[in-house]
Amino acid sequence: EVQLLESGGGLVQPGGSLRLSCVGSGFTFGSFAMNWGRQTPEKGLEWVSGISAVDGSTFYADSVRGRFTISRDDSKNTLYLQMNSLRAEDTAVYYCAKGHSIGSWLVDFWGQGALVTVSS
């Protein structure tokens, strides 16, 4: 059974930093592209970032490029999202999301999510 367990969410002040982690199990982690998405009631679902399993190439939404960094440690079955210079509009539930295949950006499984609140 595929499982994705996010951690690291919480309350942070504007301008601050936070690192999310996601441990995957039930599948061969290193064989799949991985993603982060987020959701708010106001803006709905939004893809944030993705990382290839082929060559580690990374991709970002314009709204987070230059502030967020996605990375993965396949030896630990873990995906990370380093979030810097956080803004109020980054407040959301952040989901770790598994790609459908090694090079596919289709998400076929989402974790339960971690709440990030950016507020003073």
Contact 6, 111 (CB under 8 A): yes
* Binding status of residue 2 toward other proteins by CB under 8 A: no
By C-beta, is 2 or 11 nearer to other proteins? 2
Minimum CB separation of residue 62 from other proteins in Å reads 7
Rounded to a whole number of angstroms, the minimum distance from the CB of residue 51 to other proteins is 14
Cβ atoms of residues 107 and 22 within 8 Å: no
Q: Which of residues 82-101 bind other proteins (CB under 8 A)?
A: 95, 100
Residue 109 interacting with other proteins (CB under 8 A): yes
Minimum distance from residue 101 beta carbon to other proteins (Å): 11
Closest CA to 38 of 119, 120, 107: 107
Segment 62 to 81, residues that bind other proteins, using CB under 8 A: 62
Type of residue found at 63: S
3-state helix, strand, coil in the chain (%, to 5): 10, 50, 40
Sign of CA dihedral 36, 38, 43, 44: positive
Contacts to other proteins by CB under 8 A:
44-47, 50, 59, 61-62, 95, 100, 105-113
